[in-house]
């Protein structure tokens, strides 16, 4: 268990470091905002509360991970901020200075963490800072807190008990400043309440301060949820209610209604023609003018170096960046062509230098393209932490003992592929535990260690990444597989089926060697789904197995789907690209090699019958009158299906960047996208999966 | 499956990750996470939750308000709620007790305390 805990613990520590740095940086900017308004004395409560929450989170985090210095200092900082936000301490320049100093020390402490224990801040600074914080807390700048005004509001006990100390303070503060206290009641649909509540809250914040938000059960509890929002505002009810108008929202003034008639009756002055009626509310307080920002002369310049080395980038932005790089490649081709033309017209130094510049540009563009591709790559190891959990869960449930080993976790794959490979990997692992690894008793009886081993390895192999899942269980019983295939009607004569071919039956729909359906992997999801999901990302999966010794699944994946190696072909005078990952081999056939079976052209390929597809007919191209006596056939495969595509010429391999054709053209079968070739030609990329499915289904 | 489901509500990603790691080492549980009271309210109708850990100080809907909602809703009133807090928040902890919290644990979290609580309510 300790081995499995380590990856999670270290991941949690990395999360802490990233989050701690983020918290400290937020504290810095928020404290700067606080310093700007400190002179006015009217501090934004949301800002102060946000700073408090940051210090609070940092303290809890650091304590959990054992960083005592950070925890202690942020704890003291939290105490100071708590007094400020609860009104027990007045905010002045001295307090601001102490907070800024504490922040600087925290920043140094957090940034020194990756360097190890020895790089910590001298204890002198920490204790000096702590002493200054405690000095602030001892000063007698306190206002006596009043409790009685809360009772007059008529709030229910439920609401009062749900207020935190901070919220109580904010409520009292609003009352003492003569603000109106409103209760906004909203009944919202369960499906959309978060957006609705956010809209209502934003409306309230434009003319007041939200003190608390209490969810409660709706009278229509199956479909709705109710919220009671307490808000303080300087606006009168006639102004406040329209501003927060919303379906299912009612607004009630809590501290104004009972007082106004009595006050009017008791204190009405003699009427004067120029005076306003006495019961009108007092004019709202003027908003505090922002003070000019004062530069912190003593603050050392913050290091631009970030402790956290990761930046989250939206994958769509990377795709757009790749598109731009592609456009630059085309622009470069134009420049190179111009240079060539200039050189041919007459020798000129300008033409030579333009050619050289085009060469330099080409190299830089190649580097840029590679750099953008690298950004999409993430280590396969990101999958492994999730697998550890799955293995622990399933093996415990199955009563088996399993050790999970990882190799090559730093092998990199395109992020989208890693996400797509996750489910097939989980399924293979489930099968390895459910069907592969024996129970401890069986293993001991067979002379094996009691604990089974699942080894996951990943490594790069040319333009592909290979992921292997290997178990030391009982292996796949090929004889049983053959019997099942015969039973299911997949094959008529077992004599012609090799062991290698028999393993492919496992990937056929409806095949399962498990007579007993277990809850884990007997949900009706077979290995056909696994292979199809892998094929959907241009990958392939193979099996090697030895009875009694174990099974290995070998998954081969393209490193990225954005740039793929393709076979360039021509047909009826046009050029197309076929992804190499789908190409199995190419043949040269003559007319005599083709037969017609059930009105479909086929050819005999070693032991099997290969259906043929004439690309020109599939794409409705115009054929010239003569038909060649010899022609090329590209054998393509998707999962277990094979197809021979008849083409005119094979033009060689080339790396291409696939671009989408856009929504308007998405529906065409057999077309996966478009690609730009280096010489300014745009060609279509064929979708092998679409072609295979369309052909084998329609029998065209 | 008969696994128990635990909901963790805290606005700190790292704290949730640490809690998840500790709880997983204690036994076979299904864990769902919420970053604030909003998300918790959205998750509750979908997940069959058996135990809830929640912080108190969270933006928008705080832990006390979430607790009040749970205790007044017949669908959720039976779910044990454990408050995650710091020793400096005694006032809020007492309010949590009044609102019906079953336990509270203090940061930094102690594995044996957590184990004791989980066994007590889910064992």
Q: How far is CA A450 from CA A365, A443, A469, A470, A471, in A?
A: 56, 6, 20, 17, 14
DSSP β-bridge partners for residue A160: none
Which residues in B lie closer than 8 A to residue A397 (C-beta atoms)? 1, 28
Which residues in B lie closer than 8 A to residue A188 (C-beta atoms)? none
Confidence of residue B5 (pLDDT cuts 50, 70, 90): very high
Q: Say whether A50 sits in a helix, a strand or coil.
A: helix
CB atoms B108 and A64 under 8 Å: yes
DSSP β-bridge partners for residue A575: A570
- pLDDT greater than 50 at residue A190: yes
**Which H or E run includes A587?**
strand A583-590
| pLDDT tens track for A388-410 | 877 877 887 788 888 888 888 78
Q: What does the pLDDT average to over A25-46?
A: 80
Give DSSP secondary structure letters for A598-620: TTEEEEEETTEEEEEEEHHHHTT
Confidence of residue A166 (pLDDT cuts 50, 70, 90): confident
- pLDDT greater than 70 at residue B103: yes
The pair of three-digit structure tokens given for residue A570, joined into one six-digit string: 């021509």
3-state helix, strand, coil in chain B (%, to 5): 45, 20, 35
Number of H helices, E strands in chain B: 5, 5
- The better pLDDT of the pair B53, A429 is held by B53
Confidence of residue A667 (pLDDT cuts 50, 70, 90): low
Chain B nearest-CA distance from A117, in A, is 20
Best of B12, B13, B25 to mutate (most A CBs within 10 Å, chain A):
B12
Contacts of A235 (CB under 8 A, 6+ apart): A180, A207, A208, A243, A284
Contacts of A615 (CB under 8 A, 6+ apart): A569, A571, A576, A621, A645, A646, A647
CB A76 within 8 A of CB A102: yes
Which residues in B lie closer than 8 A to residue A163 (C-beta atoms)? 64, 95
Closest by alpha carbon to A49, among A145, A129, A165? A165
pLDDT of residue A303: 37
Least-confidence region, from A10-24, A255-269, A439-453: A255-269
| pLDDT tens track for A501-520 | 778 777 776 665 444 334 33
CB A699 within 8 A of CB A686: no
Confidence of residue B52 (pLDDT cuts 50, 70, 90): very high
pLDDT of residue B6: 94
CB A200 within 8 A of CB A229: yes
CA-derived radius of gyration, chain B: 13
| pLDDT tens track for A631-651 | 888 988 765 677 888 888 888
- pLDDT greater than 70 at residue B107: yes
At which residue do the structure tokens 């030579």 appear? A352
In chain A, the largest separation of any two C-alpha atoms, in whole Å, equals: 119
Least-confidence region, from A215-224, A539-548, A556-565: A556-565
DSSP β-bridge partners for residue A445: none
- pLDDT greater than 50 at residue A613: yes
Whether B64 has its CB under 8 Å from any CB of chain A: the answer is: yes
Q: How far is CA B102 from CA A19, B23, B78, B80, B118, in A?
A: 30, 18, 11, 6, 12
| Summary mean pLDDT of chain A | 75
Confidence of residue B81 (pLDDT cuts 50, 70, 90): very high
The pair of three-digit structure tokens given for residue A619, joined into one six-digit string: 């794409």
- What is the number of alpha carbons within 13 Å of residue A599 lying toward its C-beta? 4
Contacts 24+ apart (CB under 8 A), A510-518: A511/A484, A511/A485, A512/A484, A513/A435, A513/A476, A513/A477, A513/A480, A513/A481, A513/A484, A514/A434, A514/A435, A518/A434
Least-confidence region, from A112-121, A188-197, A580-589, B29-38: A112-121
pLDDT of residue A441: 87
The pair of three-digit structure tokens given for residue A256, joined into one six-digit string: 């104004």
ipTM of model:
0.82
- The better pLDDT of the pair A698, A365 is held by A365
Question: Closest-CA residue in chain B for A196?
Answer: B38
Confidence of residue B34 (pLDDT cuts 50, 70, 90): very high
At which residue do the structure tokens 């595509």 appear? A645
Chain A nearest-CA distance from B98, in A, is 7
Q: What percent of chain B has pLDDT over 70?
A: 95
Whether B88 has its CB under 8 Å from any CB of chain A: the answer is: yes
- pLDDT greater than 60 at residue A291: no
Cα angle at B100 between B96 and B106, to 5 degrees? 40
Chain B nearest-CA distance from A8, in A, is 6
Where b means 16+ CB within 10 Å and e means fewer, B45-57 reads eeeebbbbbbbbb
CB atoms A60 and B41 under 8 Å: no
Confidence of residue B50 (pLDDT cuts 50, 70, 90): very high
Which residues in A lie closer than 8 A to residue B59 (C-beta atoms)? 53
- pLDDT greater than 70 at residue A120: no
- The better pLDDT of the pair A123, A339 is held by A339
Q: How many CB pairs under 8 A join A and B?
A: 129
pLDDT of residue A626: 62
Per DSSP bridges, beta strands A608-614 and A600-605 are antiparallel
Contacts of A681 (CB under 8 A, 6+ apart): A575
Contacts of A281 (CB under 8 A, 6+ apart): A180, A236, A256
Closest by alpha carbon to A655, among A560, A584, A555, A540? A560
Closest by alpha carbon to A70, among A35, A21, A28, A32? A21
Among the partner residues A16, A193, A393, nearest to B14 by beta-carbon distance: A16
Backbone angles phi, psi at A89, to 5 degrees: -140, 140
The pair of three-digit structure tokens given for residue A59, joined into one six-digit string: 């303290």
The pair of three-digit structure tokens given for residue B15, joined into one six-digit string: 């704290």
Per DSSP bridges, beta strands A574-579 and A563-571 are antiparallel
Q: What does the pLDDT average to over A475-485?
A: 81
Strands (DSSP E) contained in A117-170 are none
Per DSSP bridges, beta strands A671-676 and A682-686 are antiparallel
Confidence of residue A665 (pLDDT cuts 50, 70, 90): low
Least-confidence region, from A66-70, A210-214, B80-84: A66-70
pLDDT of residue B1: 47
- The better pLDDT of the pair A524, A553 is held by A553
Whether B14 has its CB under 8 Å from any CB of chain A: the answer is: yes
Confidence of residue A562 (pLDDT cuts 50, 70, 90): low
| pLDDT tens track for A206-262 | 888 999 999 988 877 778 889 999 999 988 888 888 888 877 888 888 875 443 333
CB A320 within 8 A of CB A660: no
pLDDT of residue B49: 92
CB atoms B107 and A213 under 8 Å: no
Confidence of residue A307 (pLDDT cuts 50, 70, 90): very low
Q: How far is CA A236 from CA A179, A185, A259, A335, B3, in A?
A: 9, 17, 14, 69, 54
pLDDT of residue A277: 36
- pLDDT greater than 50 at residue A306: no
């Amino acid at each position: 268990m300790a081995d499995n805990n380590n990856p999670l613990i270290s991941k949690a520590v990395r999360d802490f470091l990233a989050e701690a740095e983020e918290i400290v940086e937020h504290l810095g900017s928020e404290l700067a905002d606080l310093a700007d308004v400190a002179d006015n004395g009217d501090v934004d409560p949301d800002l102060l509360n946000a700073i408090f929450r940051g210090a609070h989170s940092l303290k809890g985090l650091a304590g959990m991970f054992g960083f005592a210095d950070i925890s202690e200092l942020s704890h003291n900082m939290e105490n100071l901020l708590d007094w400020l936000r609860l009104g027990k301490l007045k905010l002045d320049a001295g307090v601001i200075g102490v907070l800024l100093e504490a922040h600087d020390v925290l920043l140094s402490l957090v940034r020194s963490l990756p360097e190890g224990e020895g790089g910590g801040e001298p204890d002198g600074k920490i204790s000096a800072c702590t002493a200054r914080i405690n000095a602030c807390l001892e000063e007698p700048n306190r206002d006596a807190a009043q409790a009685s005004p809360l009772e007059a509001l008529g709030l229910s006990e439920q609401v009062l008990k749900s207020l935190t100390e901070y919220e109580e303070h904010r409520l009292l503060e609003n009352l003492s400043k003569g603000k109106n206290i409103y209760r906004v009641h909203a009944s919202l649909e369960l499906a959309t309440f978060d957006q609705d509540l956010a809209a209502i809250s934003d409306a309230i914040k434009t003319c007041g301060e939200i003190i608390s938000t209490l969810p409660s059960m709706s009278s229509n509890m199956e479909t709705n949820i109710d919220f009671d929002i307490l808000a303080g505002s300087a606006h009168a009810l006639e102004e406040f209610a329209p501003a927060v108008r919303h379906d299912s929202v009612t607004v009630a003034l809590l501290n104004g209604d009972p007082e106004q008639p009595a006050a009017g009756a008791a204190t009405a002055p003699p009427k004067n023609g120029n005076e306003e009626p006495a019961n009108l509310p007092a004019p709202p307080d003027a908003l505090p003018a922002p003070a000019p920002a004062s530069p912190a002369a003593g603050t050392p310049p913050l290091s631009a170096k970030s402790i956290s080395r990761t930046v989250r980038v939206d994958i769509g932005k990377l795709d757009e960046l790749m598109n731009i790089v592609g456009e630059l490649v085309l622009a470069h081709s134009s420049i190179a062509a111009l240079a060539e033309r200039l050189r041919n017209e007459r020798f000129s130094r300008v033409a030579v230098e333009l050619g050289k510049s085009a060469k330099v540009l080409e190299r830089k563009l190649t580097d840029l393209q590679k750099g953008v591709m690298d950004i999409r790559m993430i280590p396969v190891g990101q999958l492994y932490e999730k697998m550890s959990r799955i293995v622990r869960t399933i093996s415990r449930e199955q009563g088996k003992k399993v050790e999970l080993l990882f190799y090559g976790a730093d092998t990199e794959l395109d992020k989208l592929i890693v996400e797509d490979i996750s489910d097939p990997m989980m399924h293979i692992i489930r099968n390895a535990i459910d069907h592969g690894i024996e129970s401890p008793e069986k293993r001991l009886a067979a002379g094996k260690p009691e604990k089974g081993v699942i080894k996951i390895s990943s490594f790069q192999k040319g333009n592909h990444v290979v992921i292997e899942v290997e178990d030391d269980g009982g292996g796949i019983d090929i004889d049983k597989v053959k019997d099942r295939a015969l039973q299911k009607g997949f094959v008529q004569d077992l004599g012609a089926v090799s062991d290698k071919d028999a393993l492919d039956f496992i990937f056929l729909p409806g095949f399962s060697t498990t007579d007993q359906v277990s809850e884990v992997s007997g949900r009706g999801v077979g290995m056909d789904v696994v292979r199809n999901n892998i094929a959907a990302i241009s990958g392939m999966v193979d099996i090697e197995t030895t009875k009694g010794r174990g099974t290995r699944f070998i998954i081969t994946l393209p490193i990225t789907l954005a740039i793929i190696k393709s076979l360039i072909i021509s047909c009826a005078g046009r050029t197309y690209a076929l992804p190499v990952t789908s190409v199995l081999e190419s043949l040269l056939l003559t007319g005599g090699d083709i037969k017609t079976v059930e009105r479909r052209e086929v050819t005999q390929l070693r032991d099997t019958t290969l259906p043929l597809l004439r690309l020109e007919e599939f794409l409705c191209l115009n054929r010239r009158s003569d038909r060649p006596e010899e022609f090329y056939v590209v054998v393509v495969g998707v999962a277990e299906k094979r197809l021979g595509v008849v083409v005119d010429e094979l033009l060689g391999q080339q790396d291409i960047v696939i671009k989408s054709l856009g929504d308007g053209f998405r529906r065409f079968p057999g077309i996966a996208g478009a690609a730009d070739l280096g010489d300014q030609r745009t060609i279509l990329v064929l979708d092998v999966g679409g072609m295979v499915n369309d052909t084998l289904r329609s029998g065209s | 499956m008969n696994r128990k489901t635990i909901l963790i509500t805290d606005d700190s990603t790292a704290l949730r990750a640490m809690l998840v790691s500790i709880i997983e080492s204690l036994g076979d549980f299904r864990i769902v996470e919420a970053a604030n009271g909003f998300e918790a309210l959205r998750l509750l109708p979908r997940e069959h939750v058996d135990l809830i850990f929640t912080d108190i100080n969270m933006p928008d809907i705080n832990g006390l308000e979430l607790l009040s909602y749970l205790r007044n809703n017949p669908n959720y009133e039976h779910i044990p709620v454990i408050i995650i807090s710091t020793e400096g928040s005694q006032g809020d902890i007492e309010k949590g007790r009044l609102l019906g919290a079953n336990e509270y644990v203090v940061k930094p979290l102690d594995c044996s305390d957590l184990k004791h609580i989980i066994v007590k309510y889910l064992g």
